Amino acid sequence: MQFDNKSPGKDISEDDLKSKFPLASKKDPSHKTKFSVAGVEFGGKNIPVMAGPNMVESRDFILKTAEKIKSIGAHFLRGGAFKPLTFPYRSEKYYETREEGIGWLKEVKKEVGIPIITEVMEERFIDLVADTSDILQIGTRNMQNFPFLTACAKTMKPIMLKRHYGASLRDWLGAAEYILVEGNNKLILCERGVSVPHTHRSTSRFLIDLQVVPALQEISHLPIVVDPSHATFWRPWVSPMTLASIAAGADGIMLEVHPDPKNSAVDPLQPLDFQNFEELMSNMKKTANSIDRAI
């Protein structure tokens, strides 16, 4: 169905598609961007899976985790060395590994042979992160940091732009346009949960906006990834919401997976363990196959 909102004052008007985000909008109903990163195609029939811990905790930890995650079938290793932690305090259990962590990811990439996606938070570290990471992850909290988006785009590296948890689709596509306008077309969008008053559980901060998947596919050609880990913040809900994301049409999945979830340095309530991940992979394949897609 064609997008036909002609009335001004609605969240996205027809004029917005032409004048506010002409590059992020579809040219015609079948327009879909496809590109490969490290041999993995985004925007096609296959659904790439990016999995790994919240944080790159140590060299040995990330090496062993990467091996296991690759053997289970993930296409990318995820994991932050630079972390946008909500509070400024750090401790022995709650820390960032920063430049050292990026160095470990570089070793893992070489030794394990798995592509990497990791977050970049500051302009001064873009070159360092871009040297190792196959995809630059821009986190929810930086979505509208426009000079930063421009600087990331200029590297011409593939970028995954996470939706700010309070952003409308209109604002998100506006941020995407800042990247596309630099001539960087290897852009992936990622839904990671929005903040609403009612999230069903006192420990869950966000509500996954599954409707945004078909909504985006109606108006934009960009691949859309869903991250049910950050969206639910709660391990038992990650698997069902992952399958629902695939059923909704997601072009990729990002998952937190940890060898010992309860002892994750950050957000211990949300990661899957290896066994959970393996079972989920098998169910993801079945769900993907049922809608003529593949993992």
Residue 162 touches which of Mn ion, ligand PEP, none (CB < 5 to 8 A by kind)? ligand PEP
26 or 162, CB closer to ligand PEP?
162
Q: Is 80 in the site for ligand PEP (CB under 6 A)?
A: yes
Report how far Cα 110 is from the mean position of its chain's Cα atoms: 23
Considering only 43, 53, 101, 139, the residue that binds ligand PEP (CB under 6 A) is: 139
Q: Is 157 in the site for ligand PEP (CB under 6 A)?
A: no
Report how far Cα 43 is from the mean position of its chain's Cα atoms: 14
Considering only 26, 157, 162, 186, the residue that binds ligand PEP (CB under 6 A) is: 162
Residue type, 66: A
**164, 158 in Cβ contact below 8 A?**
no
86 or 91, CB closer to ligand PEP?
86
First to last CA, the chain: 27
Q: Is 145 in the site for Mn ion (CB under 5 A)?
A: no
Question: What are the tokens at 190?
Answer: 């990622």
Distance CA 104, CA 26 (A): 39
Considering only 68, 109, 157, 192, the residue that binds ligand PEP (CB under 6 A) is: 192
CB of 158 to ligand PEP, least distance (A): 16
Here's the x/- map for Mn ion, 28-67, by CB under 5 A: it reads as: --------------------------x-------------
What ranges make up the beta strands (E) of 129-249? 135-138, 159-162, 187-191, 224-226
CB of 54 to ligand PEP, least distance (A): 5
| HSE value, Cβ hemisphere, 13 Å, CA-based, for 96 | 17
**171, 164 in Cβ contact below 8 A?**
yes
| Three-state DSSP class for residue 199 | coil
CB of 83 to ligand PEP, least distance (A): 6
CB of 270 to Mn ion, least distance (A): 8
- Nearest residue to ligand PEP, using CB? 139
Residue 68 touches which of Mn ion, ligand PEP, none (CB < 5 to 8 A by kind)? none
The DSSP line for 176-187 is HHHHHTTT---E
252-256 vs 135-138, strand pairing mode: unpaired
The binding site for ligand PEP (CB under 6 A) comprises 54, 80, 84, 139-140, 162, 192, 230
